[in-house]
Structure 1
Amino acid sequence: MGNITTSLLSYFIHPLLWIVLITTVLVGIIRVRKERQFFNTRLYPATLESTRLLLIGLVLGLIVSAMTWYTGVIVDVSWLLLFNIVSVVLFATLGYRGLTASYTLALTTLGLIGINLLLLIKPEDSITAVFSTQLIMQPNILIGLSILLAVGLFIEGFLLYLFSRKPLQPELIKIRRGTIKGQFKYRGAFLLPVFMLFPVAKDVFFSTSEWWPIFSVGKMEFLPLFVPLVIGTRVIVRSQLPKRLLKKRMFAIIALAVIVTLLTIVTYFYNWFTLMPFVMALLGHIAIDIYFWVVDEPDTERYHQTSKGVCVIGTREDTASRKMGILPGELITSCNGNPVKNRQELYDALNINRAYVKLTVCDEFNEPRFVETALFETDSFELGLLFIEESVVEEMKDSVES
């Protein structure tokens, strides 16, 4: 029982775990504050990100742990140390976008291989000696890691699916010449506690320690550890419909995961192919990031204030506007037969008939359509619509000018 407890407690010594956990809690708090500042309401609770990180991550971690045991995924302490360094550096520089398995797992594995190839022609020093290992050069070890890489990409696709289920995380930003526009930012991660065995040499600290659990299998000794595997992503939607872009990106990531899986199968028969899954995952994800940044052109009229009508940034859940199918970026040009150009005019038109509302809405192709619904006393006085607040715009413009 003591050995099991020690192995469990070892999970909490990883700095990556605490850095991601504290950051995620702060992200939820900051998001709610911005929602109240921009829209005078909270869209989702501050615990949304941390609940997804811990609870869903725990379930996924159990599944991945079973997979690593079944497929025989083995790494050593050198790989684990470099993985933590790479993950922390990527998270510090790229945020949640840097926590995709395509970056953390691929760069760690390729980097460790590069270091050990360098050691073949250059004597090791006190720093490079820490990463000296022959285990990473074995084809069966690389195959196991490429399986873990493919699973990580599928998990990232699942995270994007969860984003698309709650596709409303808007914010207001300042762009050139002090113009204020809306956009949508999605960021989050899963924290997977993955149980893995690490082969331990006879002369290292863990092997000589009486209090650290060691398992012997044949002539080899293994160190059991819970490793925090963090799978995260960040998506910014600047001009497209959030749900549409999130689904496109989800399918792109899943397609990349399928390609990595197929390459892994090929490496099982052709050992000289073992690096291809990692190279493909790294370059493929970079290409996906660049593609979606380019196609999501920010210089459009969507999510901008306009004199043509009231620009809708989003709709709250379980409200009349959500039932009417009003989408982010659409324009409300009239309400109950009265033309509207700002929030106050819309509010005045709604008060003409509090039992029934009929709106003229222009979609992304500037095609008008009519939506209508009956109103009840429990309905929001503004139908649950989210706008670019005039007062917020003036406040943000003043901060730009100052």
Structure 2
Amino acid sequence: MFDVLQAVAVFFLNPLFLLILLVAVALGYRRVKRERKDFNIRKLPGLTELRRLVADTWLHALILSVLLSGIGFVTDAGWIVLFSIVMLIVLVSFYYQWGSPIYATTLAFFGLVAWQQSGRTFSYRGWSLQDVDLLGQLAITIPVIAGLLLIAEGSLIRKSTVKYASPHLEKTSRGLRAAVFKVKTIWMLPIVLLVPGDMISAYVPYWPQFKLGAESFSFVPVPVLIGFSQIARKRFPDEVFPKLGKSVIWTGIAVTALGLGALYEPLIGWGALVIGVILRTVLTIIVAVQERSGGYAASPSAKGVVIAGVLPGSPAEKLGLKPGEVIRAVNGMHVANDKELYDAIQVNAAHCRLQVADRNGEVRLMQQVLYRHDHYQLGLLLVR
């Protein structure tokens, strides 16, 4: 039992795993601090990023682990170490624009290439730098891993970023304050990889292992970091991030397909990694440039009060209000700012009747029953 617990501790006491937990808490704290500064209230609890670390990714991690280990894609212990080091550097840098796993997988692979080409010799616990065949199995495995991780990243961006986009206020060129929507988050995929050799079993005798012929293989759990940081300014999050996620998925499919092409020519796998880095970088730059040009999607309006965000579970969410919509009147009274809005709510203690213009300018009427504790907790973050 002690050996089993020791094996589990290899993953849960991994410095990268522990640091990911701490950084997730720090990201939530910084987000809440910024939201309270702009709106005097936070949109989501501070531990949201921590709770989402694996809650959003466990299915992706399970599928990838079964695919990679089940099919028999073998990685390398040295590559895993370099891969973890690169992820660690990205994690502590907080520059999550470059947190896509394609960068870490590629840097770790070509790091091994450069290290091997330097002519130096290195060996540790049965692992030898000279024995790493970068034109063999790894030329297939690493690009396939990179491609599948890109697919997972795109899926997470597409499904898990719109809901958690954090609004904050930014000064426009005219001195007004408009809303921008920022997503800065990390995910962790606990993926099980197949590694040849007995380097791990030398430390933990009961670590899961099997033999194929004369060679031993171990199942190694690796906490894979995916970082994402993007701002929606010209458009709304539901207009930007799903499209970006779809593009990342297609990039991952292309990298995976090219990686499998390394079965015929190993250098195709090398090229797949380079192409993946280029395409992912281009996607990041394109979105950044597009969102910096032009005006703001949620800027002050003379027609009413502009919504910057909606608190989950609030009366405003039950009303179906969305960021970018304009509240023109409340209980029959025209409103131009947040004070007038909440003053108008008090006119009727039982019902809140709103006249709202959607993003296309179409006006609709809606109402919601309010209770005593709702009067000043409609659940809106407003551009002001």
Same topology, TM > 0.5: yes
- Please state how far the C-alpha of 1:79 moved relative to its aligned partner: 0.8
- Please state how far the C-alpha of 1:289 moved relative to its aligned partner: 0.2
Matching residue of 1:191: 188
Which whole-Å deviations, capped at 9, do the CAs of 1:88-129 have from their partners, x for residues lacking one? 22233353333311111122223322332x33xxx32779xx
1:132 aligns with 2:129: yes
Matching residue of 1:9: 9
CA pair 207-363 structure 1, distance change in 2 beyond 3 A = closer
1:373 aligns with 2:370: no
Query: Counterpart amino acid of 1:381?
Result: H
CA pair 364-151 structure 1, distance change in 2 beyond 3 A = same
Aligned length: 379
Query: Counterpart amino acid of 1:79?
Result: W
Distance 2:344 2:128 in 1: 69
Q: Which moved more, 1:208-217 or 1:271-280?
A: 208-217
Which whole-Å deviations, capped at 9, do the CAs of 1:246-282 have from their partners, x for residues lacking one? 2111111111122223223333344441213211211
Q: Which moved more, 1:280-289 or 1:368-377?
A: 368-377
* 1:76–1:200 Cα contact (<8 Å) kept: no
Give 5+ residue unaligned stretches, structure 1: 390-402
SS at match of 2:41: coil
Normalized against structure 2, the TM-score is what?
A: 0.85
Matching residue of 2:283: 288
Matching residue of 1:50: 50
1:261 aligns with 2:246: no
Distance 2:338 2:128 in 1: 61
Matching residue of 2:29: 29
Normalized against structure 1, the TM-score is what?
A: 0.81
1:226 to 221, 225, 236: 221
Distance 1:57 1:374 in 2: 36
CA pair 165-208 structure 1, distance change in 2 beyond 3 A = closer
* 1:8–1:226 Cα contact (<8 Å) kept: no
Matching residue of 2:163: 166
Higher helix share: 1
Matching residue of 1:392: none
| Percent identity for Structure 1 against Structure 2 | 26
SS at match of 1:29: helix
Matching residue of 2:347: 352
SS at match of 2:110: helix
Matching residue of 2:151: 154
* 1:215–1:223 Cα contact (<8 Å) kept: yes
Which whole-Å deviations, capped at 9, do the CAs of 1:24-47 have from their partners, x for residues lacking one? 012223333433443333432222
Correspondence list, 1:239-250, <5 A: 239-250=234-245
Distance 1:349 1:112 in 2: 66
* 2:162–2:237 Cα contact (<8 Å) kept: no
* 2:36–2:42 Cα contact (<8 Å) kept: yes
Distance 2:256 2:221 in 1: 25
CA pair 47-207 structure 1, distance change in 2 beyond 3 A = closer
Q: Which moved more, 1:214-223 or 1:155-164?
A: 214-223
- Please state how far the C-alpha of 1:314 moved relative to its aligned partner: 1.5
Distance 1:379 1:208 in 2: 62
* 1:310–1:340 Cα contact (<8 Å) kept: yes
SS at match of 1:289: helix
Distance 1:378 1:251 in 2: 44
Query: Counterpart amino acid of 2:242?
Result: K
Query: Counterpart amino acid of 2:47?
Result: T
* 2:315–2:370 Cα contact (<8 Å) kept: no
Q: Which moved more, 1:299-308 or 1:79-88?
A: 299-308
* 1:154–1:257 Cα contact (<8 Å) kept: yes
* 1:71–1:144 Cα contact (<8 Å) kept: no
Give 5+ residue unaligned stretches, structure 2: none
**Root-mean-square deviation (Å):** 3.2
- Please state how far the C-alpha of 1:286 moved relative to its aligned partner: 0.3
CA pair 108-175 structure 1, distance change in 2 beyond 3 A = farther
CA pair 375-268 structure 1, distance change in 2 beyond 3 A = same
Query: Counterpart amino acid of 2:187?
Result: F
Matching residue of 1:64: 64
Distance 2:381 2:315 in 1: 12
